[in-house]
Amino acid sequence: MSFWIFFLASFLSIANACSDYCSVKAEEVDLTSISSQKDAKFLSLEELSNRYDAFLLDAYGVFWGSSEVGVFLGAADAMAYLVNQGKYVGILSNSTLPAVKEKEKLRKHGLYEGIHYHFLLTSGEVAKDLFLCESLPFSTPRNTYWLFGSIHPHFGSHRQIFEGTKYQEVDNLKDADFIYISIPHIDGVDQEDPEIFRSMVQSVRQDLPILSVNPDRFAMEGSPPRPVVRQGSIAQMFVEQQADVYLVGKPSRIIYEAALQYFPVDIPKEKILMIGDTPETDIRGAHGVGLDAALVTKTGVMANLLEKEGEAAVIHQLPLDDRPDFLLERLNIGL
């Protein structure tokens, strides 16, 4: 049997947070994809800047190391360089926090809107708009959800994106309309092996819709940064259990299209480059809307594998739509 994962998102209003939230739909995305691409080659950020007028950046693994590391050395200068060169720079993150919270975090680490980037969009922001619109693609007669896991003590609560909506958390699974996947952890400690959570997944009834607001299977945390399990890994286990799984965020076509609305209308898609560290979300999603994409190789979730097995060998094993157009060692200038 083949399984489908459904990706959700909503178009965001650029001008007014209280505008029409209701252009929401679900997409069926086959986990296998077909396209034709040439082999990626390494270019410097300066060379990429000469080719493109705008950049869409992933956060974790690109300019953000982890909660402990913060911004990678040289990344702030690279982002400011792009802005100073007249490039339009956006951030597209699978963070489950509202965009305002991510902006606050970045300010504490010396990254400022207007100086280092022009806009920031998170999957958490998209999810909150979806909840406000009350247009989930499954029935929610009681407007209730049950939390899989618990609140991660080192990250913001999921309740921020439910605040002001009709959806209420319940303690008893039998009272829930759907299941919301929290940031995975064991007693506040991030885990590197998803299998630790498999028995938890198997113990949960499979007849309710499963909602994950972060499709990333891993994220970089710790010092030095290392890949740790995130909601996408749990979601994949539910898929394997034949549950109906719904994801909000990259690689959804709609979240990319929402991000594209933030760019000036005179910048065509052909002049916008996505830079990410995860082929199955950053690169695949960019290609899904006709954007070129660059993969960072010295930072992020792929860094260790690329160093161990070599860029060519790893990339040739990826599905075609997950293969980058360019390789970039790191978000830095002068390299």
3-class SS of residue 278: coil
Same domain, 150 and 297: no
pLDDT at 28 over 50: no
- How many whole angstroms separate alpha carbon 252 and alpha carbon 247? 8
Q: Per the structure, how many domains does the chain have? A: 2
Same domain, 165 and 229: yes
Determine which helix (DSSP H) or strand (DSSP E) holds 292, and give its type and residue range: strand 292-296
Mean pLDDT along residues 70-84 = 97
Which tokens in the block code for residue 254?
A: 């709609």
Q: What is the pLDDT of residues 198-251, one digit of tens each?
A: 999 999 988 999 999 999 999 988 888 889 999 999 999 999 999 999 998 999
Partner residues linked to 199 by β-bridges: none
Half-sphere exposure in the Cβ direction for 173 (13 Å, CA): 14
Q: What is the pLDDT of residues 262-273, one digit of tens each?
A: 999 999 999 999
What is the model's pLDDT at position 223? Answer: 87
Same domain, 182 and 259: no
Same domain, 187 and 236: yes
| Other CB atoms within 10 A of residue 1 CB | 3
Partner residues linked to 92 by β-bridges: 121
Q: Which of 213, 230, 248 is the last residue of a domain?
A: 248
Q: Which of 202, 222, 248 is the last residue of a domain?
A: 248
Partner residues linked to 42 by β-bridges: 327
Is 106 contained in some domain? Answer: yes
Is 72 contained in some domain? Answer: yes
Is 232 contained in some domain? Answer: yes
- How many whole angstroms separate alpha carbon 40 and alpha carbon 37? 8
Q: What is the pLDDT of residues 154-197, one digit of tens each?
A: 998 999 999 999 999 999 999 999 999 999 999 999 999 999 99
Burial of 266 (0-12, 13-18, 19+ CB in 10 A): exposed
3-class SS of residue 157: coil
Same domain, 49 and 120: yes
Same domain, 277 and 300: yes
Same domain, 207 and 159: yes
Residue type at 67 in one-letter notation = S
What is the model's pLDDT at position 38? Answer: 62
Phi (first) and psi of residue 194, to 5 degrees: -60, -25
Same domain, 163 and 209: yes
Q: Of 140, 122, 129, nearest to 10 (Cα)?
A: 129
2 confidence band (pLDDT: 50, 70, 90): very low
Determine which helix (DSSP H) or strand (DSSP E) holds 177, and give its type and residue range: none
What is the model's pLDDT at position 300? Answer: 93
Q: What angle do CA 267, 271, 277 make, to 5 degrees?
A: 120
Is 17 contained in some domain? Answer: no
Same domain, 154 and 189: yes
Q: Is 162 within 8 Å of 211 (Cβ atoms)?
A: no
- How many whole angstroms separate alpha carbon 290 and alpha carbon 274? 10
Segments forming the whole domain that contains residue 91: 41-125+251-328
Mean pLDDT of the residues in the chain:
89
Same domain, 199 and 104: no
- How many whole angstroms separate alpha carbon 44 and alpha carbon 160? 38
Half-sphere exposure in the Cβ direction for 59 (13 Å, CA): 30
Is 146 contained in some domain? Answer: yes
Is 8 contained in some domain? Answer: no
Residue type at 128 in one-letter notation = K
Alpha helices, DSSP H, located in 196-249: 198-202, 231-240
Q: Which of 248, 268, 298 is the last residue of a domain?
A: 248
- How many whole angstroms separate alpha carbon 22 and alpha carbon 237? 30
Is 169 contained in some domain? Answer: yes
Write a three-state SS string for 39-70: CCEECCHHHHHHHCCEEEECCECCCEEECCCE
- The CATH number assigned to the domain holding 93 equals 3.40.50.1000
Same domain, 257 and 242: no
Partner residues linked to 245 by β-bridges: 210
Same domain, 111 and 172: no
Determine which helix (DSSP H) or strand (DSSP E) holds 21, and give its type and residue range: none
Is 6 contained in some domain? Answer: no
